[in-house]
Amino acid sequence: MHIIHSAPAAAVADWREQLRTVISDGASLLRELDLHPEQVGLSEAACRDFPLKVPRAFVRRMRRGDPQDPLLRQVLASAGELAQAPGFGPDPTGEVGGANPRAGIIHKYRGRLLLVVASGCAVNCRYCFRRHFPYADNRNSRREWQQALDYVREDSSISEVILSGGDPLVAEDDHLAALCADIAAIAHVKRLRIHSRLPIVLPDRVTPALLDALNPPGLQSVMVVHCNHANELDDAVAQAFRRIRERDMTLLNQAVLLAGVNDSEDALAELSEALFERGALPYYLHLLDRVQGAAHFEVDEQRAQRLHAAITARLPGYLVPRLVREIAGEPAKSGIPPLPPLA
């Protein structure tokens, strides 16, 4: 595991400034890492199709001079994204159409509903299942958010609201505070779940004001972060996790099984151990959502089953995430049974 220690707090810029100064072109990213385009297969055409975007705080955790660095592979645009792959498309999890009943709402599962709070993110992960999502059709003004919340108010079966995006934590604190307070005022909503990559890639976003916004009285708040490799977890992330847990928020992690990033028994076991050491419980290990442009990340199901069986044999049960696939139209995520471990 590649251990990185954070810069002193005084040396770290405000999170908004860090967001404004993300690296957004491949040449700059490779210069930071002492790499050349031919070493990594950088594709400017892929960048034009889905822009490259990565915070410097995340880049500092990458290994300089290593074209196979697992963090770099997650954000670097490559020519493989331009290939057409059978079975891969723009809406792999069935979020467009009937599951998107009005702007800002995705409602696929009974009892819970997702709000698309923001269209942007601090990082563009190349395997993102929403890289083709129609964000322009899902933007809401403050008044329109009230109309979206009317949808929640009118459906008493909804006990959990999920904030997602993009990444909901790129929204400003006052917007999040108002939105969460309105959700808390809906009597049948019991839980607020926040899905975010920012505590990992931009941990300085986890401020006291943000946590105040996400903890309205009357709701249980759950933070689900997205970390795929133990090298993503530096001192600053550990501090962000501690701040979250000090507010009595449940802290879970969901990862995606990615070829060339974490598709080994050691990588998955180290990820679970590192997460738990910092206070996050491994929750889901997703098979890749088959989004157009991400086929080169796919790990076949049988290999995934054997890897999962291997970590099940190696780790205590509470450190083993559930292996799942999301299938469009199904009433819940589909669990995948294990096979015997790899030899």
Give the integer Cα–Cα distance in Å for 99 and 106: 5
Q: How many CB atoms neighbour CB 328 within 10 A? A: 16
Strands 281-286 and 322-325: parallel
Q: Is 47 annotated as a binding residue?
A: no
Q: What is the distance in angstroms between the CA of the first residue and the CA of the last residue of the chain? A: 23
Euclidean distance between CA atoms 295 and 289, whole angstroms: 9
CA dist 257 → 3, 162, 261, 309, 340 (Å): 22, 23, 8, 14, 18
227 assigned binding-site residue: no
Could you give the CA distance from residue 160 to residue 10 in angstroms, rounded to a whole number?
A: 38
How does 220-242 read in b/e, with b if 16+ C-beta sit within 10 Å? ebbbbbbbbbbbbbbebbbbbbe
- Provide CB contacts within 8 A for 44, sequence distance 6+: 26, 77
Q: What does each C-alpha distance from 341 to 273, 287, 322, 323, 331 come to in angstroms?
A: 19, 17, 16, 14, 29
Binding-site residue set for [4Fe-4S] cluster: 121, 125, 128
